Structure 1
Amino acid sequence: MTTWNAWRTAAAVVAVAATASVAACGGGSATTQTAATKAGTVPLVVYSAQGYDSAVTKAFQAATGIPVKLDDDSTGPLLTKIAAERNNPQWGLLWVDGDTAFAALDKQGQLLDYASPTTLTSAGQALVPADHSYMPVSTTVVPALIYNAAKAPAAPATYQDLLGPVYKGLVGMNDPAQSGPTFPLVAGLMNQLGGQANGVSAGENYLRQLKANGLHVYPTNGDTLHALETGQISYGLIQSSAALGEVAKAHKNANFDPKIIYLPKSTLLPSAIGIDKGAPAAEQAEAKKFVEYVLSPAGQQVMQKGDPTGDSLYWPIVPGVSPLPGLPALPAGYQRIDPAYWGPLENQVNTFFDANIK
């Protein structure tokens, strides 16, 4: 049986051959050119963990006529899938939060360099890698500390505060092996405590202390928020968009009043897109069109409408695009971690977390 990857490669070859045939005949008729164009339209396979990805892929398909095959899942399973497909990749485009995953894929030679002509804001430009191996399209921050003001005994001002007895057994976070935003959260914490000069040891020691103080670990944002809602925890360290969405949709009462604070040096968490270097040329061309659509005013509008109490609560990095109403200013004093340094450490950090913190 022909594999999907073999089929899409064959489709691309047919498209190139058809285009060459038209060129050899002096351009051919309009009908022939249209047939060649249709022959070059292969499905764009999108692996994505974005809450608005279904809305965006449908809008892109309607706007361009390019068929899209969406595989929506959490970041961890998608990256596991990509690793398993290393010798026979089935994806054309990856769209997840956090650039550390892309830096690791780039080091493995799996990403196509693509420099978008779209101008970004200064914050956006700071997130573009020097080799253009992936493209940031928006940003959130990690962590936002969401807490139940109706039950929480105090509001922390620093990460060290969370190690105190008043917070014992009341703090929760996601599993970085499953939740895409959480490895950058952990890496950002390690970057503050040890930095590239001293590595992960200080961060590991902090996480051990947090675990000793009763840290709860849940799979993803939704699970951590459910624990907050049901009183299992009073504080959650999660992605800003998930925290803001919880505050926006919560039914506040005497027992539940979610509020958000940002501890010193939140880490920028870009939503980024990478293109499979091993995909056929026709699919790579479609993926580039997808990037430009996402960065266009039309694409940004779909993103902001697709998940209004979730991933749509991002800070735009495209000039002229405003964040959704009610979104606070981007936290001051944020940091951008070096994905080229922290990305390749993801497996090591996640292995440590699995063995010592979960």
Structure 2
Amino acid sequence: MNKFVRSLAVAASLALLGGTAVQALTVYSSVDEENSASILRAFTEATGVQVDMVFLSSGPALSRIEAEQNNPQADVWFGAPSENHILAHERGLTQGYISANADGLQDQFRDADGFWHAIYTNPLAFGVRTDILAERGAPAPTSWADLTNSAYSGLIQMPSPQSSGTAYAVVLTLREIMGEDAAFEFMRELNPNIQTYTQSGTAPSGALSVGETPIAIQFSPGFLKLKDEGFPVDVVFPTEGVGYEVAAMSILNGAQNLEDAGTLVDWMTSAEGQQALVDAKTYFLPVRGDVNAGEGVPSLDEIELIAYDPAYASENRQRLVDRWADDVLGQ
């Protein structure tokens, strides 16, 4: 168990107020453990609210919340894609709470009735090794259309839709931008420029870091991290637009510590809470337009975000992945 997570639990059990044990806010977190600890530590420092955090990935978290619905053991589900929180609401596992800061979020980053609020977003992006492209005399891409340039033959890495949700987000994005048939025609044209389709959604940024590839496609945090660490990497959000993932939070039905649960939602949706994402170097993009992700990183207002229907995405996943395998790999 992470040292900070242990310390949170110990602090919660030992803290006294007027001789009565202070009840900690219990959070099931599906944000990765390191970043969860950093964000929730900043929350405790800002508000004084003690947190008992349990790290659970999205699927196990939802299963546990559902199993405990008659005797809830947590107050807040923190993290996991917003569609998971929509599902939790549909199953009667969460309760509405409209944050005082909700008006600072775009509609796609909150539920109108307060059943979930976004924590951060990760848009798709290109990671570009400027040094390698300069050596080859090749231009840097600025759009999806640019990627079919023959100068990039065998130079691009992206995940495979057969194994990666990130790559499936690419398919859905292109479908929204171009229409389905045109999107698959584009991916057929792109295929000769693909060096490899990786199994992992984050593997392309690793290849970019060691110079194995000069152009990589995935969600943006890995590229932002490389740029911050001094690698000659540009992070490109293509002009036609990009799909994105949204990590959200919900207050659970039967929450024992409802007041502090609301405090967490309010803090996380405030400019202070969103700035904490940046200060902690999570490399997640803030969901407030008045908080900048860092030097050289555009705000969300400057990125063309492409939304797609989560229900459609779920119902058509196998069909679209099978079509990708047939039309792109099998061409």
Give the alignment's TM-score, normalised by structure 1. 0.66
Give 1:55 deviation, angstroms. 1.3
Aligned 8 A contact 1:145 1:262 in 2: yes
Give 1:146 deviation, angstroms. 1.6
Paired residue for 1:134, among 116, 122, 135?
A: 116
Query: For 2:54 and 2:320, how far apart are their aligned partners in 1?
Result: 27
Query: For 2:317 and 2:92, how far apart are their aligned partners in 1?
Result: 17
Query: For 1:167 and 1:191, how far apart are their aligned partners in 2?
Result: 24
Aligned 8 A contact 1:101 1:343 in 2: no
Q: What do you get for the CA RMSD once the two structures are aligned?
A: 3.9
Report the CA distance shift for 1:177/1:350 in structure 2 as closer, same or farther (over 3 A): farther
Give 1:287 deviation, angstroms. 3.3
Query: For 2:261 and 2:83, how far apart are their aligned partners in 1?
Result: 20
Larger Rg: 1
1:58 and 2:32 correspond:
no
Give 1:93 deviation, angstroms. 0.6
Give the match's secondary structure for 2:140. Answer: coil
Query: What is the CA deviation profile of residues 144-165 of structure 1, one whole-angstrom value per residue up to 9, with x for unaligned ones?
Result: 2121122233323432332344
Query: For 2:100 and 2:298, how far apart are their aligned partners in 1?
Result: 29
Give the match's secondary structure for 1:307. Answer: coil
Give 1:235 deviation, angstroms. 0.6
Paired residue for 1:272, among 238, 241, 247?
A: 247
1:247 and 2:227 correspond:
yes
Give 1:45 deviation, angstroms. 2.3
Report the CA distance shift for 1:226/1:272 in structure 2 as closer, same or farther (over 3 A): closer
Larger strand percent: 2
Give 1:270 deviation, angstroms. 6.0
Paired residue for 1:317, among 288, 298, 306?
A: 288
> Which residue in the other structure is 2:67 paired with?
88
Query: For 1:111 and 1:354, how far apart are their aligned partners in 2?
Result: 36
Paired residue for 2:144, among 151, 155, 159?
A: 159
Aligned 8 A contact 1:136 1:272 in 2: yes
Aligned 8 A contact 2:102 2:269 in 1: no
> Which residue in the other structure is 1:69 paired with?
53
Q: Percent same amino acid at aligned positions?
A: 16
Query: For 1:112 and 1:267, how far apart are their aligned partners in 2?
Result: 31
Query: For 2:113 and 2:316, how far apart are their aligned partners in 1?
Result: 20
Give 1:315 deviation, angstroms. 4.1
Paired residue for 1:117, among 100, 105, 112?
A: 100
Query: For 1:112 and 1:50, how far apart are their aligned partners in 2?
Result: 25
Query: For 1:295 and 1:171, how far apart are their aligned partners in 2?
Result: 36
Report the CA distance shift for 1:346/1:246 in structure 2 as closer, same or farther (over 3 A): farther
Give 1:300 deviation, angstroms. 3.1
Ranges in structure 2 where 5+ consecutive residues have no aligned partner: 1-16
Query: For 1:353 and 1:66, how far apart are their aligned partners in 2?
Result: 49
Report the CA distance shift for 1:64/1:148 in structure 2 as closer, same or farther (over 3 A): same
Give 1:338 deviation, angstroms. 4.1
Report the CA distance shift for 1:193/1:50 in structure 2 as closer, same or farther (over 3 A): farther
> Which residue in the other structure is 2:28 paired with?
45
Ranges in structure 1 where 5+ consecutive residues have no aligned partner: 1-29, 73-77, 195-199, 252-256
Query: For 1:57 and 1:350, how far apart are their aligned partners in 2?
Result: 38
> Which residue in the other structure is 2:12 paired with?
none
Report the CA distance shift for 1:131/1:177 in structure 2 as closer, same or farther (over 3 A): farther
Give the match's secondary structure for 2:126. Answer: strand
Query: For 1:59 and 1:346, how far apart are their aligned partners in 2?
Result: 40
Amino acid at match of 2:101: T
> Which residue in the other structure is 2:14 paired with?
none
Give 1:51 deviation, angstroms. 6.0
Aligned 8 A contact 2:289 2:299 in 1: no
Give the alignment's TM-score, normalised by structure 2. 0.71
Aligned 8 A contact 1:103 1:344 in 2: no
Give 1:264 deviation, angstroms. 2.2
Query: What is the CA deviation profile of residues 241-295 of structure 1, one whole-angstrom value per residue up to 9, with x for unaligned ones?
Result: 43233222134xxxxx322333223236364323264x53215554333211212
Query: For 1:173 and 1:107, how far apart are their aligned partners in 2?
Result: 34
Aligned 8 A contact 2:66 2:93 in 1: no
Equivalent residue pairs, number: 301
Query: For 1:112 and 1:125, how far apart are their aligned partners in 2?
Result: 19
Give the match's secondary structure for 2:304. Answer: coil
Query: For 1:44 and 1:203, how far apart are their aligned partners in 2?
Result: 41
> Which residue in the other structure is 2:198 paired with?
217
Output aligned runs, 1:325-344, within 5 Å. Answer: 325-330=295-300, 332=302, 334-342=304-312, 344=314
Aligned 8 A contact 1:228 1:236 in 2: yes
